[in-house]
Amino acid sequence: MTGLATEQAVWRALDEVTDPDIPTVSVVDLGMVRSVEVTDGRLRVELLPTFVGCPALDLIRRAVAERLEGMAAVVEVEATFAEPWTSDRITPEGRRRLRESGFAPPAASPSGSGAQPLFATIAMRPTATCPYCGSTDTMMENPFGPTLCRAIFYCNGCRQPFEQFKAV
Amino acid sequence: MSAPDPVPAGAPAAASGLDEPTRRALAGLLLAMADDEFVLGFWDSEWTGIAPLLEEDVAFSSLAQDEIGHAQALYRILADLVGGDPDRIAFGREAQEYRHARLLDHARTDWAFSIARRFLYDTADAARLDLLVASAYAPLAGLVAKMRREETYHLLHVSAWLERLARGGEEPRRRLAEALELLWPDALCVLAPLPGEERLVEAGILAEPLAAAEQRWLAGLAPLLGRLDLGMPFRRAGGRLEPTVPRPASPRGDHSPSFQWLWTELTSVYRLDPEASW
């Protein structure tokens, strides 16, 4: 088997590891996989935590390690902050799956590249499209939801509360 | 009396490539930031179940989780720099060895007090994070880039509450104004100069001295507080904002009985068996 084929197999396997809170999306859908390296019987995967304090991270790391077990003599799964995970990393497929599960996918990341002073983001007004009726006439009720990665909105169109996978 | 050396002893991390005074100054900065987030996170967590609105039970619980997560990641970077175990640094010190700013020494108190303290801390912390986003110390720069994206939501949340209380009628406004007045001197501790910070500026780890961040913080606050007709105890002197309240002599030490109580709580499980894996 060539190195390339193995790497593809690893990505396919990773696509079977789902988020423990939203089981319809995988770690690949969420853009959590930064790199996959296969060299000389050693397999190394880098994960980007969606939130620094995400309590599911250890669980996800273990699930990834378990799924990849046996694909190489040595399997290493590491979490890194070498680059920030942002919600812009969620794939189009991931966004579709989020919508199907009743979550609004994140709007474009509000804090951008980080060039502007953090203070300026006080004036930020987050937006979301209602996953039920498609209305953009929505408002943020609470920037914090049931998990760190979700915010609560209300749709003025269909008068339903809904959750958004937070734009960060 | 000199405070005990806050930086835990351990094998110097040769890999950091920093000279000893710079390494010690960086360790001091990491410990100050980590302790700030750690202690605030525990105060926040006290609102779980008793906040004035269900939404705020959720919000403060999330804030606590964010802050303690940030602290954990900062203790990890510190442990990689100086050796040792992040959990031992977080939980294994005596109360007076913590290096959080005095602003975080106060108990939770009432809702307006918690909002006032969070507003002052979050805005000061934002100015500090701005100095670190392009840090030459790569592990810190990477983490700060991530933290800033989360802090955006803290700022959004707390500034909305500040406005709500300031415009919320006589009693909320009075409680908010009293809390701000009481907290201002200790708020100045968050961006007080740290030992050896000039080495960090030289090494490109910190973009500017913390005093520069303090001026930007105050300049940013002035229009926000002014719009709500909330005073700031400062006067202009030579283009700078100078406080008209005294700066505490020991910005990150001499901790209060309230913190002593919190320390007893937050370390109680760890102290049962420091070697256990929970």
What are the boundaries of each domain within chain A? Answer: 3-79, 96-165
**pLDDT exceeds 70 at position B2:** no
> Of A103-117, B173-187, B216-230, which gets the smallest average pLDDT?
A103-117
**pLDDT exceeds 80 at position A93:** yes
Note whether B224 contacts A52, CB cutoff 8 Å: no
Mean pLDDT of chain B: 93
> Of A67-76, A102-111, B150-159, B183-192, which gets the smallest average pLDDT?
A102-111
Rounded mean pLDDT, A62-69: 96
Instruction: Count the neighbouring beta carbons within 10 Å of the beta carbon of residue B2.
Output: 5
Note whether B157 contacts A144, CB cutoff 8 Å: yes
**pLDDT exceeds 50 at position B10:** no
**pLDDT exceeds 80 at position B80:** yes
A2/chain B closest Cα distance in angstroms: 34
Chain-centroid distance, C-alpha A23: 12
Instruction: Write out the E strands in chain A.
Output: 33-39, 42-47, 74-79, 103-104, 138-142, 150-155, 160-165
Rounded mean pLDDT, A92-105: 95
- Residues of B in Cβ contact (< 8 Å) with A166: 153
DSSP β-bridge partners for residue A104: A164
Q: Hunting for tokens 């269900």 — which residue is that?
A: B54
Q: Which helix (H) or strand (E) holds B198?
A: helix B197-202
**pLDDT at position A4:** 57
**pLDDT at position B16:** 74
Rounded mean pLDDT, B210-230: 96
Cα distance between residue B41 and residue B22, in whole Å = 28
Q: If contacts are CB pairs under 8 Å, which of residues 101-140 in chain B contact chain A?
A: 123, 126-127, 129-130, 133, 138-139
- Residues of A in Cβ contact (< 8 Å) with B149: 84, 86, 109, 111, 114, 168
Cβ of residue A35 closer than 8 Å to a chain B Cβ: no
pTM over 0.90: yes
**pLDDT exceeds 70 at position B34:** yes
DSSP codes, B84-118: S-HHHHHHSS-GGG----GGGGS---SHHHHHHHH
- Residues of B in Cβ contact (< 8 Å) with A82: 138, 142
Contact by Cβ (8 Å): B37, B27 = no
**pLDDT at position B9:** 47
**pLDDT at position B3:** 40
Q: Which fold has domain A3-79?
A: GMP Synthetase; Chain A, domain 3 (3.30.300)
**pLDDT at position B15:** 57
Nearest by CB to residue B148, choosing from A55, A111, A126, is A111
Q: Structural domains in chain B?
A: 19-230+244-272 (1.20.1260.10)
**pLDDT exceeds 80 at position B116:** yes
- Residues of A in Cβ contact (< 8 Å) with B143: 52, 81
**pLDDT at position A125:** 83
**pLDDT at position A120:** 82
**pLDDT exceeds 80 at position A1:** no
Cβ of residue A154 closer than 8 Å to a chain B Cβ: no
Rounded mean pLDDT, B87-111: 97
Chain B interface disruption, residue of A21, A144, A152, A166, most B CBs within 10 A: A144
Mean pLDDT of chain A: 91
A145/chain B closest Cα distance in angstroms: 6
Cβ of residue B191 closer than 8 Å to a chain A Cβ: no
Q: Which of B6, B21, B14, B5 is nearest to B200 (CA)?
A: B21
- Residues of B in Cβ contact (< 8 Å) with A142: 55, 58-59
Nearest by CB to residue B62, choosing from A82, A84, A148, is A148
Cβ of residue A116 closer than 8 Å to a chain B Cβ: no
Instruction: Write out the E strands in chain B.
Output: 234-237, 240-243
**pLDDT at position B1:** 33
**pLDDT at position A52:** 96
- ipTM comes to 0.89
- Tally C-beta pairs within 8 A across A and B: 110
**pLDDT at position A111:** 58
Rounded mean pLDDT, B6-13: 48
Q: Hunting for tokens 């094998």 — which residue is that?
A: B11
